[in-house]
Amino acid sequence: MWLRFTSFVVFLVAGAAAGWWLRGWPAACAGLLLAATAWWLVDALRAVRVLRGLREDETLALPRMGGLWGELADRLRRLQRTGERRLQASERRLQEFLEAIQASSNGVMLLDAEGRINWCNPTAASHFGIDVERDHEQLIGNLVRDPAFTSYYANPDPKRNAIVTGSGDSAGRPVRLAVRLHFYGEGRRLMLSNDVTALEQAEAMRRDFVANVSHEIRTPLTVLTGFVETLQSLPLQEDERARYLELMAQQASRMQTLVNDLLTLSRIEGSPPPGRSEWTRLGDLSDDCEDEAQALSALLTAGQGAPHALAFVPPPALALAGSRTELMSALSNLVSNAVRYTPAGGSVTVAWQALSAGQLEFAVEDTGPGVAPEHLPRLTERFYRVDRSRSRETGGTGLGLAIVKHVVQRHGAELRIQSTLGKGSRFAIVFPASRVRADAPVSANA
């Protein structure tokens, strides 16, 4: 500011001095006026240059000069650079924010006050079968027709989810979405969607499971209660008493088997997958299976003339890694099923076989009734039975193959089922090469 004032004074003094030197005092006054006008003109020109730069919105092209106007141009330039840096930073943040929403596994959709789609991430687009480009600004009510959505949309509650049918839903492959609407701005809505198909299925499975277990326990319990009442209220002969007690023992053992299978299933599901530190010789597993099969066959065919023809092919000298208890449970379930479903006089063959890629197969073949192809995919479901009465008569719980499936999965193995109705079945477990090794001299857990 001092410089500006000084330059003005210097101009005036120079003008006045020049006038006085040329023509005396009157000319000095004219020189003074002329100098003031010239100073003002130069100053105005400089201001115009700065203003032009601003008007053309090219502040970075502002002239570089000294004095007050130069200082002003410099400060404006600095201000603009700071503003641009801030703008870039906030654009970067916005971009990152949008990328995060785009990557979210939850659907996010922005709707205007009329319910038109302003923006949505790819997850929301796939949830509702929306084309982001084509359906931009379309009314959501026209695109999502599920009545559950329509009624929730008409009466939204940000505290509760609406469960609606998602895009691609079919009878064999349901798609269920949890949708929630939140209000923001002036009547705008944020719609969040979440795929809850697996959760819904798990919940349905849990309900079915509880219903099945209750049903399985209620039947023997009802029989038991009936016998107890009979024993309490009727004077019975000794042989009748003994027969009733025998039947009661059968029902109690049925419940016990069921509870044991349930405990086995929950233990298997709740424990970490078995490692490769415990090795069991195939010979040991095979011997245990054979003992159980012989005992079961004797029990089931007692008084029926022809027993089962049980053949246990001697296993190769190999050992298997995994939980011995679980392996035994899976193998004995397959063997006992073959014995239970094969009528007296039929044959059951159990064999271990080393396959070409180092895998190991355990196979149980029987000449029983076989299973029709439509039942095969469901055999490993809990409580799924083809022959309900045969299963019950022989002490089945409907959980055997579910246990086998779990054990097989936990050991990285594969369950293969082949069956021909009226001819027989072949249930095989193929263990991966990584769980097989040459027979250890002594069983690790022996």
425 touching ligand ADP, by CB under 6 A: yes
| Comparison of 280 and 367: residue with beta carbon closer to ligand ADP | 367
Residue 211 beta carbon to ligand ADP: minimum distance, rounded to whole angstroms:
17
Which of 164, 191, 371, 436 binds ligand ADP (CB under 6 A)? It is 371
Choices 65-73, 168-176, 352-360, 382-390; region in contact with ligand ADP by CB under 6 A: 382-390
The answer to whether the beta carbons of residues 415 and 429 sit under 8 Å apart is yes
| Backbone angles phi and psi of 348, in degrees to 5 | -130, 125
Beta-sheet pairing, 424-431 with 436-438: unpaired
Number of residues in contact with ligand ADP, rule: CB under 6 A? 22
Residue 431: name the closest of 315, 342, 310, 322 by CA. 322
- 244 or 384: CB nearest ligand ADP: 384
Contact 410, 326 (CB under 8 A): yes
**Residue 363 pairs with which residues in a beta bridge?**
351, 428
396 touches ligand ADP by CB under 6 A: yes
User: What whole-number distance in Å separates Cα of residue 327 and Cα of residue 26?
Assistant: 124
> Under the criterion CB under 6 A, does residue 216 sit at the interface with ligand ADP?
no
Residue 366 as a binder of ligand ADP (CB under 6 A): the answer is yes
How many Cβ atoms are within 10 Å of 8's Cβ, its own excluded?
15
363 touching ligand ADP, by CB under 6 A? no
8 A C-beta contact, residue 32 and residue 16: yes
Question: At its nearest, how many Å lie between ligand ADP and the CB of residue 301?
Answer: 16
**Residues 56, 345: Cα–Cα separation, whole Å:** 104
329 makes contact with ligand ADP (CB under 6 A): no
Chain centroid, CA 391 distance in Å: 35
Pick the piece of the chain touching ligand ADP (CB under 6 A) from 30-38, 49-57, 298-306, 368-376.
Answer: 368-376
Which region, judged by CB under 6 A, interacts with ligand ADP, from 15-23, 115-123, 142-150, 335-343?
A: 335-343
Query: Using CB under 6 A, which of the segments 140-148, 245-253, 279-287, 389-397 binds ligand ADP?
Result: 389-397
In the three-class reduction of DSSP (H, G, I as helix; E, B as strand; rest coil), residue 148 is classed as helix
Least separation in angstroms between residue 416's CB and ligand ADP is: 13
Residue 346 binds ligand ADP, judged by CB under 6 A: no
Residue type, 391: S
Residues 148-167: x/- map of binding to ligand ADP (CB under 6 A)?
--------------------
Give the residue with the Cβ less far from ligand ADP, 107 or 368.
Answer: 368
CA nearest neighbour of 444 among 327, 293, 273, 294? 327
Among residues 398, 406, 413, 436, which is the contact residue for ligand ADP, using CB under 6 A?
Answer: 398
CB-nearer residue toward ligand ADP: 286 or 367: 367
Residues 177 and 192: beta-carbon distance below 8 Å: no
Choose the stretch contacting ligand ADP; rule: CB under 6 A; options: 58-66, 76-84, 211-219, 399-407. 399-407
Structure token pair of residue 134: 């084509």
Q: Between β-strands 347-354 and 309-312, what pairing exists: parallel, antiparallel or unpaired?
A: parallel
Cα–Cα distance for residue pair 187/183, rounded to 1 Å: 7
Query: Shortest Cβ distance from residue 415 to ligand ADP (Å)?
Result: 12
CA distance 363 to 426: 7
**What is the distance between the alpha carbons of residues 104 and 125, in angstroms, rounded to a whole number?**
12
Give the footprint of ligand ADP on this chain (CB under 6 A): 333, 337-338, 341, 366, 368-369, 371, 379, 384-387, 391, 396-402, 425
